Structures are given as C-alpha cells and as structure tokens.
Amino acid sequence: MSDTAPDIPRHVAIIMDGNGRWAADRGMPRRDGHRAGAESVREVVEGCKELGIDYLTLYAFSSENWNRPKKEIDALMNLLKRFLKEKTKEMHKQNVRLHAIGRLHLLPDDCRAALDNAIASTANNTGLSLILALSYGSREEIIDAASSIAKAAVAGTLDPDALDSETFAAHLATAPFPDPDLLIRTSGELRLSNFLLWQISYAEIVITPKFWPEFKKADLRAAIEEYSRRHRRFGAV
C-alpha cells in the first residue's frame, strides 16, 4: 500500500484533553468539565457509528492521572461508574461492543464491576467497538508484553530469534484490534502523553485547539475529512 489517499479510517483513537481548562474558562470546578466531556463521548460514539468507523479508542484515564488530587480522581471514577451504568443500555441498543485496556485492577471495585458488567452485556454486539483506555499507560503495556514474551521464551514456547512485530503486537492489550489510522488530540497539546506509542507508529495525527467538551460530531467529521486528504505512504514513495 503506497501513497494511497485513505477514505474513512477504520480505527480512530482520541486523547480527550482539556476538560479542566474548559471548566476554568467558565469559572467552574474541574469536575464540571469532566461531566461536560462525557457528553462529547456520547456525540463521538454516535458520530463514529454514522460514519461507519469500526473501532474507537478513547483515552479516558492515564497511568499518570493517578497523580492528580484524590478529589479529582474520585470525581472521575464516579463519573465513569455513572456513565457505564447509564449508557450500557444505549450502547447495547446501538450495537456497540465495549472493551477496556489498561491496568484495570487499579480501578475502584465499584467502577471495575460496572465496567465488567458493561463489557459482558455488550459482548455479542457486532457494530462499533468502543475501547476505553483506563489506568492506561503505553510504556506499562509494552513492559507487560516484553515480560510475557520473556516468560514464554524461558518456558520454551517462543523462540526469541523468531520474534517479529506481529508476535510482539499479539502480546499487547490491543492485540484484538487493528492499529489506529487516525489519532485526534483536543486542546492543542502537541504530545502523546504515553498513549498507544507502539500502535500509532503510522497513524495520521489531527490536533484541534478545541477543548474536549467542545468537540462535537461536526469536529469529528472535520477531522475525518482532513484524514481523507492525507497521503499515507508508510515509508514508500
């Protein structure tokens, strides 16, 4: 595949950033920004379905986000739990299948239970795959993969000389999913913040200055249009 103008991305990944600044601009507490951000999630899930996108990965909480004040973490976890409880039925109706990647055992028990329940009740759906990155850090994911590969090598079930990128990727939490074609980051920051470092090697990147709570279907459509104007070369000419 060389110099092909892509059409619709199969997999979109989003770093949903800027909730706190959106709230601060309005003299509101940060948690109100997170609440408003949840509405954008609903919009974008719907938008992806309408556009025929197969996979949507949302960076919802990073490994590093555990360093935030306890009050903010609690608010985020409560919001997550509420979101899962309220939206599972809707997701199911929309044929959305929920997945999660990250160190999920670090989530509070009630969040984990709501997550497991939402994943189980949407497991047979065949439409959009929605992948939530929660307590997720790409370096941790890569370390976990390296560790399981090393164990397999020691156990004699994997030949270290035969290791290739396909085998490596099969040990990542994202093994069931294709790599993202398009990475979107809101709020204008030009960094990856430990998100899918391996998987976005050849993703097209679109950065928008809008804060996440302002990101709506039209913004998703604009990002997809920009993507479709790009020329993906994958190192070829």
What are the catalytic residues?
17, 65
Name which position in 122, 138, 174, 187 contacts ligand IPE (CB under 6 A): 187
Interface with ligand IPE by CB under 6 A: which range of 1-9, 98-106, 169-177, 184-192? 184-192
Which of 171, 223 has the CB closer to ligand IPE? 223
Distance CA 156, CA 153 (A): 5
Closer CB to ligand IPE, 49 or 210, in the complex: 210
Q: Judge whether 140 and 196 are in contact, CB under 8 Å.
A: no
Asked if 193 is part of the footprint of ligand IPE (rule: CB under 6 A), the reply reads yes
Binding flag, residue 185, Mg ion (CB under 5 A):
no
CA distances (Å), origin 119, targets 89, 99, 113, 122:
11, 6, 10, 5
- Interaction between residue 63 and ligand IPE (CB under 6 A): no
Give the nearer residue to ligand IPE in terms of CB position, either 108 or 127. 108
For residue 129, which of 1, 13, 3 has the smallest C-alpha distance?
Answer: 13
Q: How far is the CB of 130 from ligand IPE (least distance, A)?
A: 15
Residues lying near ligand IPE in the complex (CB under 6 A) are found at 15-21, 59-62, 64-65, 76, 187, 189, 191, 193, 212
